Structure 1
Amino acid sequence: MINNKEVRLIEIPKIHDRRGNLSVIEGGTIPFVSKRVYYLYDVPSGSTRGGHAHKEQKEFLIALSGSFDVIVKNGDFEEIITLNKPNYGLLIEKEIWRELENFSSGSVCLVLASDEFDETDYIRDYSDFKSLKDR
């Protein structure tokens, strides 16, 4: 089991209204200030995304629409977490391998990242990731 300091679901405050719900991410909702926002959509059936870890960057993933599975690995354990509610997000700390799969039709994955894009922060080979974790 991966411990909740490495990966955890966080409930995003939801304001109920007869006109529709509103969720807000602001100071204190997640444990970092987002420096980059991106989203995945129109992911073809059977495709996977992710397939990497970060040396320093943290990420917060939200299924804004539809659903998908996030496979997270810390080098010792693997866990599959299904995201399917827009008022819950998955916090992934640094040095955690992630893969996204099983995207439903019309799904949208929003990612809030703690840092701007930096290719040197990525670990894109799983054997390199395992070597890092085995130290």
Structure 2
Amino acid sequence: MALNNVRIIDLPRVKDARGNLTFIEGDRHVPFDIKRVYYLYDVPGGAHRGGHAHRKLHQLIIAMSGSFDITLDDGNTKFKYHLNRSYYGLYIPNMMWREIDNFSSGSVCMVLASEYYEEADYYRDYSEFQIDARAQQR
């Protein structure tokens, strides 16, 4: 997969004077069936999360509160995204190395995933990921 497959998805917003509402439907607003949801919170200042890639899992990452940066790497090129709106999701396909940092105080990062947790799906060694990613791009 290449970085040109990554995109910001503008999620539906129902505006109301009493407070806004955003909803997400699998296979409708995101290009996969949602099998797992998890979130990061209380991340200490200066901490980094991520530092891995997935062989087959796709994700949608949303800044539910606060903000953070996500640096994506397809094995050849890197690009940094700044997420700070709860109605924008960053779609990340498989074979994309990610680093998440620059968490603001009180930020919450929610992740919707296309697969159940499976350790074998993870690349935790960047060199191994880079070799496989470049081979797939040929």
TM superposition score category, shorter chain reference: over 0.9
Give the letter for the 1:9 counterpart. Answer: I
Structure 2 contact 52–99 (Cα < 8 Å) conserved: yes
Match of 1:39 in 2: 39
The question of 1:85 aligning with 2:85 is answered: yes
Q: Which residue of structure 2 aligns with residue 19 of structure 1? A: 18
For structure 1, list consecutive stretches of 5 or more residues without a partner in the other structure: none
Alpha-carbon deviation of 1:2?
Answer: 2.4
Task: Give the aligned residue type for 1:51.
Answer: G
* Structure 2 unaligned regions, length at least 5: none
Distance in 2 (alpha carbons) for counterparts of 1:50 and 1:2? 17
**Does residue 107 of structure 2 align to residue 102 of structure 1?**
no
Structure 1 CA distance for aligned equivalents of residues 66 and 134 of structure 2: 36
Counterpart residue identity of residue 19, structure 2: G
CA contact (8 A) 2:59 2:112 kept: yes
- Offset of residue 133 of structure 1: 1.6
Cα distance in 2 for partners of 1:86, 1:126 equals 30
What is the TM-score when the length of structure 2 is the normalising length?
0.94
- SS, match of residue 9 in structure 1: strand
* Partner residue, 1:66: 66
Question: Deviation of residue 63 (structure 1)?
Answer: 0.1
Of Structure 1 and Structure 2, which has the larger fraction of its residues in helix? 2
Structure 2 CA distance for aligned equivalents of residues 47 and 120 of structure 1? 25
Percent sequence identity is 52
**CA positional deviation for 1:76:** 1.1
Supply the distance in 1 between the matched residues of 2:37 and 2:91 (Cα, whole angstroms).
14
CA–CA separation in structure 2 for the residues paired with 1:35 and 1:109 = 17
The SS at the match of 2:16 is: coil
- 1:124 is matched with 124
Tell me which residue corresponds to 2:3: 2
Q: What is the number of residues matched between the two proteins?
A: 133
Structure 1: distance between partners of 2:133 and 2:92: 16
Structure 1 consecutive aligned stretches of length 4 or more whose deviation exceeds 4 Å: none
Give TM-score scaled by structure 1 length: 0.96
CA contact (8 A) 2:67 2:84 kept: yes
